[in-house]
C-alpha cells in the first residue's frame, strides 16, 4: 500500500491516459500541476487520506471522462471552472468535507452521465434549476448534504435520468408536477426532508419506477400513492409521512340505463275488415 504525498513530478508524464492510485494511504493535497495531464481519461484517487481543496486548474483536463475522488477528506468549494471539462462522463466526490453551493455553471457539461456528491454535509444552497440541461445524465446522488429550497420543476426534463437520490437534506415545498415526465426514472428517494402536499397524479405516469422513498421524514406529505404504482409493483416507503396507502383506481362511471317511454297506442281501423 502506497503512502506519502502525491509526487508533483508525475505531472511531467504528459502521455498518461489512465491513473489508478485509489485505495492507498496518500495524504496531502491534490497537486495543481496535474492539470498538465491533458490526455488522462481515468483518474482514480478514491479512498485515500487526501486533504485540501479541489484545484480549479483541473478544468484544463479536456480528455477527462472518469474522475473519482470520493472517500477522502477534501474541503472547499466545487470549482465552477470544472464546467470546461467537456468530456467528463462520471464525477464522484462523495464522502468528503466539501462546502459551498452547487455550481450553476456546470449545466454546460454535455456528456455528464453520473454525478455523485452525496455525504458532503457542508454542501448548502438549492438545486440549480438550469441543471435540467444535463441531457445525458442517468444518475444523480445528493443525499446526506445540507441542501435546501424547493425542488425545481425544470428537472422534469431530465429525459435520461434513471436514479435520483436527494434524501436527508432540508428541502421544502411540494413535489413538482413536471417530474411526472421522468419517463425513464427507476429509483427515486426524497425521504428525510421537509416536503409537504400530496403526490401529484402525474407521477403515476412514471411507468419504469421500481422504488420510491418518501419517508421517513416529510411529515406533512399527505394523500395517497398513485394506483398505477401498485399495478406495476413499485416498492414504496412512506413510513413517518401522512401518506395513506394507494389511491382508489379511477373508474369511469357506468351510465344509467335510459328508460324510453312506449309509444302511445293508436288503433288502426279500416284494415282487414272488408270495408273500403
Contacts of 204 (CB under 8 A, 6+ apart): 180, 226, 227, 228, 229
Residue owning grid cell 478544468: 59
**Banded model confidence at residue 268, pLDDT cuts 50, 70, 90:** very low
DSSP-derived secondary structure for 21-33: --SSEEEEPPPGG
Q: What are phi and psi of 112, to 5 degrees?
A: -60, 120
Residue-wise pLDDT tens digits, 27-48: 999 999 999 999 999 999 999 9
Q: What is the predicted pLDDT for the residue at 253? A: 53
Residues 227-257: pLDDT tens digits?
999 999 999 999 999 999 999 876 555 555 5
pLDDT of residue 251: 59
Is pTM beyond 0.85? Reply is: yes
Confidence of residue 270 (pLDDT cuts 50, 70, 90): very low
pLDDT single digits (tens) 79-130:
999 999 999 999 999 999 999 999 999 999 999 999 999 999 999 999 999 9
pLDDT tens digits for range 55-83: 999 999 999 999 999 999 999 999 999 99
DSSP letter for 227, please.
H
Domains, the chain, in order of start with CATH, read 3-237 (3.80.10.10)
- Alpha-carbon distances of 259 from 133, 183, 252, 253, 256, rounded to whole Å: 59, 46, 21, 18, 9
Predicted confidence at residue 275, as pLDDT, reads 40
233: exposed, middle or buried (C-beta count within 10 Å: 0-12, 13-18, 19+)? Answer: exposed
List the end-to-end C-alpha distance of the chain, in Å, as a whole number.
123
Tell me the per-residue pLDDT of 137-179, one tens digit each, with 9 for 90 and over: 999 999 999 999 999 999 999 999 999 999 999 999 999 999 9
Q: Tell whether the model's pLDDT for residue 213 goes beyond 70.
A: yes
CA dist 137 and 121 (Å) reads 23
pLDDT of 263 above 70: no
pLDDT score for 248: 86
Amino acid at each position: 500500500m502506497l503512502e506519502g504525498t502525491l509526487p508533483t513530478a508525475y505531472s511531467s508524464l504528459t502521455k498518461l491516459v489512465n491513473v489508478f492510485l485509489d485505495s492507498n494511504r496518500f495524504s496531502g493535497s491534490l497537486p495543481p500541476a496535474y492539470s498538465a495531464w491533458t490526455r488522462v481519461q481515468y483518474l482514480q484517487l478514491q479512498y485515500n487520506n487526501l486533504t485540501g481543496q479541489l484545484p480549479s486548474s483541473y478544468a484544463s483536463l479536456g480528455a477527462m471522462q472518469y474522475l473519482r475522488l470520493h472517500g477522502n477528506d477534501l474541503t472547499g468549494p466545487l470549482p465552477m471552472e470544472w464546467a470546461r471539462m467537456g468530456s467528463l462522463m462520471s464525477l464522484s466526490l462523495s464522502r468528503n468535507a466539501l462546502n459551498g453551493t452547487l455550481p450553476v455553471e456546470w449545466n454546460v457539461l454535455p456528456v455528464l452521465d453520473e454525478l455523485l456528491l452525496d455525504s458532503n454535509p457542508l454542501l448548502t444552497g438549492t438545486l440549480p434549476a438550469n441543471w435540467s440541461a444535463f441531457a445525458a445524465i442517468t444518475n444523480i446522488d445528493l443525499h446526506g448534504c445540507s441542501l435546501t429550497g424547493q425542488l425545481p420543476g425544470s428537472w422534469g426534463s431530465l429525459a435520461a435520468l434513471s436514479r435520483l437520490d436527494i434524501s436527508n437534506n432540508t428541502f421544502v415545498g411540494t413535489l413538482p408536477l413536471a417530474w411526472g415526465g421522468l419517463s425513464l426514472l427507476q429509483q427515486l428517494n426524497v425521504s428525510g426532508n421537509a416536503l409537504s402536499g400530496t403526490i401529484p397524479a402525474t407521477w403515476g405516469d412514471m411507468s419504469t419506477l421500481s422504488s420510491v422513498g418518501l419517508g421517513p421524514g416529510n411529515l406533512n406529505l399527505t394523500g395517497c400513492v398513485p394506483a398505477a404504482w401498485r399495478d406495476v409493483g413499485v416498492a414504496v416507503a412512506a413510513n413517518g409521512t401522512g401518506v395513506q396507502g394507494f389511491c382508489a383506481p379511477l373508474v369511469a362511471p357506468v351510465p344509467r340505463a335510459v328508460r324510453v317511454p312506449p309509444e302511445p297506442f293508436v288503433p288502426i281501423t279500416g284494415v282487414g275488415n272488408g270495408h273500403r
